[in-house]
Structure formats: structure tokens, C-alpha cells
């Protein structure tokens, strides 16, 4: 098993050097990382094929996360370049004021330090996390799902090579090259060196990590995302948004899991919408009223409303009015992403004010709640926490700050 304490210590040392380097060096390194990825493309693809071959009993959703398709590979390269081009989040004056005493007070963004990412077998997270961490001047320790280890090894080595060529210590990016579960327990003990843990994966894993460490944890719980179709929703817009929210990529946290349709709109909207969903291969599970209207709909159980399917299944519930929709989301949602489809500004305002989720959308696909579509570039995930960062976690969210106060002899009275 790798020596985790030594990895964490090296990360801390590398982070101190990284913090002293200018943004242009980090930008340059990110561009070189994109180039290295292209250079090692064949190796990445064959390592990924080997990872997939080594795990033959994968569910379709698991395989879709693990597989580096051409499209995903391009996306990984693009994300690195995008991160390079983003404005530098470090060293910005976030607030500045001169107090009546003459004391000049400034709040300046600084890197957090060392970040440990514990995540699923999803290779694009390896490059996204390294991109976001490096952009924000942090060292990162990567512990991806064991099924993706061969792919991750190539990716991490390529990025480390690029870092060194840009004049940055390789240890700003370290992969834990082990399938041993005990490494996570060891990581949790390194509070002397690690400043933040970002775990992704099952709720029970994240809960266990949060409880077993003194290191702050940024939690990425599940996305039980809703769309509520108000009585006045446009049928075509509602259909397009629901199909996109559910079908564009089913295995991700901001995919739609439960559709709420207002009873006043159900007779009109549900038949064409259900037919479009069925055409897209979605299994429907509905409340009693929904099953009356759509004969292909299976009856939903209580459990369905609390389930993140991450697959081509959708639960549908007919609700009486916006208050019932908001109450359903409060009771069953996970505070990740919830939307309303309406043409009424007052309905939209009420939904925005009363739905307590990281992202609240009006007339847009749930799939848009993410870094790219919010103009943040690469992100390490979507936080369901309320502290530090909520929603997409990009470079600015991986910064801390310090207060600098410059005086000419000011004292406390």
C-alpha cells in the first residue's frame, strides 16, 4: 500500500511552491497538460479498454461513466484548455475598503492548499479535478474508483509530465495508485497536510468520510432533480426540456429523476410528453392519476420518489398547484437542481424563493446546472453542501482568502 502520509506531505510542500508561482505559469501548465493528453491519446484509449475489459459485469450506467469515448476524450482536452483560459482566481481583491481610522483593509483570494478528491471510476473527473485544482493554485491528491486505475495512471502521468515542463513540481498532482480501500482511511488522518476532502460517490460513503475526519469535507450528495410543469407551460418547451433533462445523459447527478405535472396541465401535456419519453426508451413510473392517463406507465411506489435512478427511468407525479410541487421537492428532493416550466413570472418568482436547492431553474434543462453552462469552465463536481461552495465547484470555489490590513500605527481604543 502506498505511504499516504508521505504523499500528503509531498502535496503540502508542492502546494507551497505552487502558491508562490504566478498565474501565467499555471496557465501554461494547463495548456501543456492538454497537449500531453493528445500526445498520449492512444495510451489513454488502450488503458481504458483494458479497464473496461477487466470489469465485464458493469451496468450500462457504470460503463458509461468509465468509458472514455472520442467525445469524452475531446471534452477532457477542451476542459484543460478552458481552465487555462479562465481568469486567474488567485490574488484577486475580493473586497477593499479604507476604514475611518485610515486602516486599509483588503480581502484577497488565496489557494486553499491541498485537496484530496475521492471519486467514482470516471476518468474525466481525473483531468477536470486536476485542471480546477491547478488553476486555483492547489495541489491535488486523486483517488479514483479502482476500475479506472489503468486509465487514471496514464492521465496522471501525462499531467505530471506537463507540470514539470512548465516549471511546477510534479507532486501538485498525485494519483493514489492502489485499489486498497484502506488508503481512504489513511487519507482521512492527514489533517496536518490536507486542507479539504471532496468525496463523490454513494451517500453512505460520503457520510462515513464526513464523520471519520477532522478535515473539512465538501459533500456531493445525490441529485434527485425535479421539473415542475405549471398549468401555463408551453407544451413544446415542456416536452423539449423534460426530454433533455432526462435523456441527454441519464447517469449523471443533474439528470431529471422526478417529473411533477400540475393537474391542470396533465391531460394536455402528459400524453405527448409520455409518448416522447417512451420513444426515447424511458421507463415511466407514475402516481395513480398519471397511470390513468398513460397506460404504459408502471405504478410508482413510495420509494420511487426518493430514488436517484441514474438510468432511463423517470417517476411522474401529478400535483395540485405549485405549493404541492414545492412541498414534494422539500420532502423528496436532495437540494441539488430543481426547475419550473412556466410562462408566469410570479410563479417563477415563488418557485425561486421557496425551493431551497443549490440550483433553481426556470424554463431550462436540469442538465444546464453545471460549471460550463454557468460560465465557470471545468468543475470538480456539484456541491450539495451549504457551506463554502454550493452548486458547481470551479476554480474560484477552490480558493480561500486572507485579510490584509495596512496601517500607519493604528491601535485599538
Identified binder of a second copy from the candidate list 128, 195, 257, 304, rule CB under 8 A: 195
Q: Reduced to 3 states, what is the DSSP secondary structure of residue 113?
A: coil
- In angstroms, the CA 152 to CA 382 distance is 21
Identified binder of a second copy from the candidate list 168, 360, 380, 393, rule CB under 8 A: 360
CB 220 within 8 A of CB 384: yes
Q: Is 222 in the site for a second copy (CB under 8 A)?
A: no
Sole window of 52-60, 211-219, 262-270, 278-286 interacting with a second copy (rule: CB under 8 A): 211-219
Identified binder of a second copy from the candidate list 14, 175, 368, 378, rule CB under 8 A: 368
Strand partners, 199: 118
Q: Is 71 in the site for a second copy (CB under 8 A)?
A: no
- In angstroms, the CA 269 to CA 282 distance is 17
Identified binder of a second copy from the candidate list 155, 310, 364, 393, rule CB under 8 A: 364
Identified binder of a second copy from the candidate list 17, 205, 237, 278, rule CB under 8 A: 237
Q: Is 203 in the site for a second copy (CB under 8 A)?
A: no
Q: Is 385 in the site for a second copy (CB under 8 A)?
A: yes
Identified binder of a second copy from the candidate list 163, 266, 274, 348, rule CB under 8 A: 348
Grid cell listed for 189: 488522518
Q: How far is the CB of 304 from a second copy (least distance, A)?
A: 22
- In angstroms, the CA 92 to CA 90 distance is 6
* Cβ nearer to a second copy, comparing 150 with 342: 342
Q: How many residues bind a second copy (CB under 8 A)?
A: 67
Q: Cα dist. 204→66, 163, 201, 207, 306 in Å?
A: 21, 35, 8, 5, 15
Grid cell listed for 333: 428532493
341 phi and psi angles, rounded to 5 deg:
-115, 115
Q: Is 45 in the site for a second copy (CB under 8 A)?
A: no
- From start to end of 188-336, where are the E strands? 196-199, 225-229, 256-262, 283-286, 298-299, 313-319
Grid cell listed for 46: 488502450
Question: Would strands 298-299 and 283-286 be described as parallel, antiparallel, or unpaired?
Answer: parallel
* Cβ nearer to a second copy, comparing 154 with 358: 358
Sole window of 1-9, 205-213, 220-228, 258-266 interacting with a second copy (rule: CB under 8 A): 205-213
Q: How far is the CB of 411 from a second copy (least distance, A)?
A: 4
Grid cell listed for 241: 426540456
Q: Is 363 in the site for a second copy (CB under 8 A)?
A: yes
Sole window of 117-125, 266-274, 301-309, 356-364 interacting with a second copy (rule: CB under 8 A): 356-364
Sole window of 26-34, 80-88, 105-113, 260-268 interacting with a second copy (rule: CB under 8 A): 105-113
* Cβ nearer to a second copy, comparing 46 with 98: 98
Q: Which residue has the cell 410541487?
A: 325
Q: How far is the CB of 152 from a second copy (least distance, A)?
A: 26
Identified binder of a second copy from the candidate list 84, 367, 377, 395, rule CB under 8 A: 367
CB 217 within 8 A of CB 197: yes
Sole window of 69-77, 121-129, 306-314, 359-367 interacting with a second copy (rule: CB under 8 A): 359-367
Grid cell listed for 170: 510534479
Q: How far is the CB of 180 from a second copy (least distance, A)?
A: 23
Q: Is 148 in the site for a second copy (CB under 8 A)?
A: no
Query: Footprint of a second copy on residues 110-129 (CB under 8 A)?
Result: 110, 112-113
Q: How far is the CB of 258 from a second copy (least distance, A)?
A: 18
| Packing angle, helices 41-53 and 149-165, rounded to 10 | 160
CB 29 within 8 A of CB 168: yes
CB 193 within 8 A of CB 13: no
Sheet holding 298-299, edge to edge: 298-299, 283-286, 313-319, 256-262, 225-229, 337-341
Q: Is 99 in the site for a second copy (CB under 8 A)?
A: yes
CB 241 within 8 A of CB 258: no
Q: Is 117 left (phi over 0), alpha (psi -120 to 50) or beta?
A: beta
Query: Footprint of a second copy on residues 276-335 (CB under 8 A)?
Result: none
**What is the binding site for a second copy (CB under 8 A)?**
20, 97, 99, 101, 103, 105, 110, 112-113, 195-196, 207, 210-214, 216-218, 234, 237, 240-241, 244, 248-249, 348, 352-354, 356-365, 367-369, 373-375, 385-388, 390-392, 400-412
Amino acid at each position: 500500500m502506498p505511504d499516504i502520509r508521505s504523499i500528503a506531505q509531498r502535496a503540502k510542500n508542492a502546494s507551497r511552491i505552487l502558491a508562490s508561482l504566478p498565474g501565467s505559469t499555471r496557465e501554461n501548465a494547463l495548456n501543456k497538460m492538454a497537449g500531453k493528453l493528445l500526445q498520449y491519446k492512444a495510451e489513454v484509449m488502450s488503458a481504458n479498454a483494458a479497464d473496461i475489459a477487466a470489469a465485464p459485469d458493469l451496468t450500462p450506467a457504470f460503463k458509461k461513466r468509465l468509458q472514455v469515448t472520442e467525445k469524452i476524450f475531446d471534452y477532457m482536452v477542451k476542459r484543460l484548455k478552458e481552465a487555462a483560459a479562465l481568469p486567474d482566481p488567485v490574488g484577486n481583491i475580493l473586497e477593499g475598503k479604507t476604514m475611518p481610522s485610515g486602516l486599509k483593509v483588503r480581502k484577497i483570494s488565496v489557494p486553499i492548499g491541498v485537496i484530496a478528491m475521492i471519486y467514482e471510476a470516471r476518468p474525466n473527473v481525473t483531468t477536470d479535478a486536476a485542471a480546477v485544482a491547478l488553476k486555483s493554485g492547489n495541489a491535488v491528491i486523486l483517488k479514483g474508483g479502482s476500475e479506472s486505475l489503468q486509465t487514471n495512471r496514464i492521465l496522471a502521468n501525462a499531467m505530471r509530465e506537463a507540470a514539470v515542463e512548465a516549471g511546477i513540481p510534479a507532486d501538485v498532482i498525485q494519483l493514489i495508485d492502489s485499489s486498497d480501500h484502506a488508503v481512504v482511511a489513511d487519507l482521512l488522518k492527514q489533517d496536518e497536510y490536507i486542507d479539504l476532502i471532496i468525496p463523490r460517490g454513494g451517500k453512505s460513503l460520503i457520510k462515513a468520510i464526513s464523520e471519520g475526519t477532522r478535515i473539512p469535507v465538501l459533500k456531493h450528495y445525490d441529485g434527485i432533480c425535479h421539473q415542475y410543469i405549471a398549468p401555463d407551460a408551453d407544451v413544446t418547451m415542456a416536452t423539449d426540456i423534460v426530454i433533455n433533462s432526462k435523456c441527454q445523459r441519464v447517469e449523471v447527478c443533474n439528470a431529471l429523476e422526478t417529473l411533477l405535472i400540475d393537474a391542470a396541465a396533465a391531460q394536455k401535456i402528459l400524453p405527448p410528453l409520455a409518448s416522447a419519453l417512451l420513444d426515447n426508451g424511458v421507463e415511466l413510473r407514475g402516481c395513480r392519476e398519471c397511470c390513468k392517463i398513460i397506460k404504459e406507465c408502471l405504478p410508482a411506489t413510495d420509494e420511487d420518489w426518493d430514488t436517484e435512478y441514474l438510468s432511463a427511468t423517470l417517476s411522474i407525479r401529478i400535483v395540485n398547484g405549485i405549493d404541492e410541487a414545492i412541498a414534494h421537492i422539500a420532502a423528496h428532493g436532495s437540494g441539488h437542481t430543481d426547475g419550473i416550466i412556466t410562462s408566469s413570472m410570479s410563479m417563477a418568482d415563488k418557485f425561486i424563493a421557496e425551493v431551497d436547492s443549490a440550483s433553481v431553474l426556470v424554463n431550462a434543462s436540469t442538465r444546464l446546472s453545471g460549471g460550463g453552462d454557468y460560465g465557470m469552465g471545468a468543475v470538480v463536481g456539484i456541491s450539495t453542501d451549504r457551506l463554502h461552495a454550493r452548486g458547481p465547484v470551479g476554480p474560484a470555489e477552490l480558493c480561500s482568502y486572507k485579510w490584509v490590513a495596512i496601517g500607519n500605527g493604528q491601535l485599538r481604543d
